[in-house]
Amino acid sequence: MKERTYNKKIENTNFNWNLDEGLFQFDDEDVVLFWTKSELKTFIDTIEEVTGVESVRVVLETAGYRSGKIMSSFYAKDGKSMREVLESLPNVYTATGWGAMEYKSLCLEERRATLSIRNDWESKVVQAQGKQEPGTLIGGHWAGIFTGLFGETMWYKITDYTISEAGSYKEIELFPSPVTPNENIREYIQSQEQQTIVQLEAMVENRTIELKTMIRELSSPVIPVLDGILVTPIMGRFDQERSDDLIEKVLQAIVDHKAKMLILDVTGINAMDSLILSTLEKLTQSIQLIGAVPMVAGISPELGMEMASKGIYLKDLKCFATLKHAVHYANALDGMHIIKKEDESL
C-alpha cells in the first residue's frame, strides 16, 4: 500500500502530513488544527463561563507568554543570528494562520519592536463572541518570544486596534519591562481577594442590619393585656441604641393604645447594670410625662438584694414580685377587678 505522506514548504516553513500515522507536523514538531470561530470560540467561551471573563484574560495572556518563551528556544536552535531569527518570525506566524504579520519597526539595540497584524485568529474569535476588546494571548506570546530570545524580561502594549466585518488590524509594541505575567497573576488574585472581601463585608453589613431590625422588632414587645393596661418584658443585654429604641417604642404604644398604665416586666433580667437602670428611670419618667402610670414587676429576691447592695433604688415606683400581682393592682387602680366565673351548672 502506498504510504500517504505529504510535505509542503511555505516561506521557509515546513508542513508534513502522515495520514497513515495520523500525524501533522510543523517544522518536525507535532501540531493540531482547530476551527477558529467554532472550536476555539467554544473552548474560550466554556472557560469564561466557568472561571469568569477577567480570569480568562489573565490565563490566556500568561499561557501566551510562557508558550512564547518555549518557542523562542525552538526558533533559535538552528544557529541563526538574533536578527535572522527575529526577521523570519512574522512570515512563520503568517504561514501558520496567526494573521498577516510584519514589523513596523525593529531595533535590536533598544530591544524594541512594533508588530502589525491583520486578521489574526484571536480577533476572529473575539468577533465571533460578539466582543470588541483585543485578546491577550498573541501579545503575551510575542512578549514571551522576545523575553526568551533577548534573555531579558519583555512585555507588550496594544497601541492600535480596529475590528469590523471587513477584518481586524492590531499593532503590538514590544519593549523591556519589569512587568511579568506572574506579577499580573498576583495583582489579579489580590484584586479578586479584595473584591471578595468587599462582597463579604457588604453581606455581613446587610445581615447585621437585618438582624438588628429583627432584634428591634422582637425584643421588648409592648403587649396590651387589658383595656388601658400594657405590659413590656425587659430582658437580655442593652446598649444605648436598644435603650433609645425601647423608650420610643413604649411611648408610641401608650399613645396608640390610649393606655393608662404600663407594666415593665424585668423577670428576664438577671443582673441590673447602670444602663438598664438608666433606661428604666428615663422610661418611667417619660411615661409619667405623657400621663400614664408606670409599674415594675418581676423583681426577684436575688435581684432585689443585688440592687440594694449597689445602692440602686427605683424610687416612687410601684414594684411587684410577679407580673400577676402587677396586673391585679393595675386593674384595681382602674376601678376594676378580676373575678372567677361561677360554674353555671350548679
Q: What is the pLDDT of residues 271-285, one digit of tens each?
A: 777 788 888 888 888
* Mean of per-residue pLDDT scores for the chain: 85
Torsion of Cα atoms, 95 then 168 then 84 then 34, to 10°: -40
pLDDT in tens, 69-113: 999 988 877 778 899 999 999 998 998 899 999 999 999 999 999
Q: How far apart, in Å, are the Cα atoms of 323 and each of 134, 217, 263, 319, 340?
A: 75, 22, 8, 10, 18
Give the number of other Cβ atoms within 10 Å of residue 279's Cβ.
21
End-to-end CA distance of the chain: 119
152 φ, ψ (degrees, to nearest 5): -145, 140
pTM strictly above 0.75: no
Specify the pLDDT at position 101.
95
Specify the pLDDT at position 86.
93
| Between residues 33 and 1, the one the model is more confident about | 33
Give the number of other Cβ atoms within 10 Å of residue 141's Cβ.
25
Apex 189 CA angle, 188 and 192, nearest 5: 85
| Between residues 259 and 195, the one the model is more confident about | 259
Specify the pLDDT at position 257.
92
Specify the pLDDT at position 255.
93
Q: Rounded to an integer, what distance in angstroms lies between the CA atom of residue 68 and that of residue 48?
A: 23
Q: Rounded to an integer, what distance in angstroms lies between the CA atom of residue 65 and that of residue 154?
A: 10
Cell numbers 512564547: residue: 68
* Mean local confidence (pLDDT), 172-196: 72
Domain ranges of the chain: 1-33, 35-179, 191-218, 220-333
Specify the pLDDT at position 312.
65
Question: What are the DSSP calls for 314-339, one per residue?
Answer: -TT-EEESSHHHHHHHHHHHTT----
CATH 2.170.130.30 for the 220-333 domain, yes or no? no
Specify the pLDDT at position 202.
79
Q: Report the share of the chain in percent with pLDDT over 90.
A: 34
Q: Rounded to an integer, what distance in angstroms lies between the CA atom of residue 275 and that of residue 307?
A: 13
Specify the pLDDT at position 29.
84
Record the cell numbers describing residue 304, joined without a space: 432585689
Specify the pLDDT at position 329.
87
Contacts of 106 (CB under 8 A, 6+ apart): 86, 87, 112, 113, 114
Specify the pLDDT at position 262.
93
Range scoring the smallest mean pLDDT among 145-154, 290-299, 300-309 = 300-309
Specify the pLDDT at position 99.
94
Question: Among residues 97, 143, 104, 141, which one has the least CA distance to residue 121?
Answer: 97
Specify the pLDDT at position 276.
83
Range scoring the smallest mean pLDDT among 25-39, 123-137, 311-325 = 311-325
pLDDT in tens, 127-172: 999 988 899 999 999 999 999 999 999 999 999 999 998 999 999 9
Question: Please, are residues 24 and 32 in contact by the beta-carbon 8 Å criterion?
Answer: yes
Specify the pLDDT at position 245.
87
Specify the pLDDT at position 185.
61
Give the number of other Cβ atoms within 10 Å of residue 215's Cβ.
13
172 φ, ψ (degrees, to nearest 5): -120, 125
Q: Rounded to an integer, what distance in angstroms lies between the CA atom of residue 322 and that of residue 325?
A: 5
Residue 323 has pLDDT above 80, yes or no: yes
Which listed CATH number (1.10.10.10, 3.90.700.10, 3.90.550.10, 3.90.1520.10) goes with 35-179? Answer: 3.90.1520.10
| Residues making up the chain, counted from first to last | 346
Residue 339 has pLDDT above 80, yes or no: no
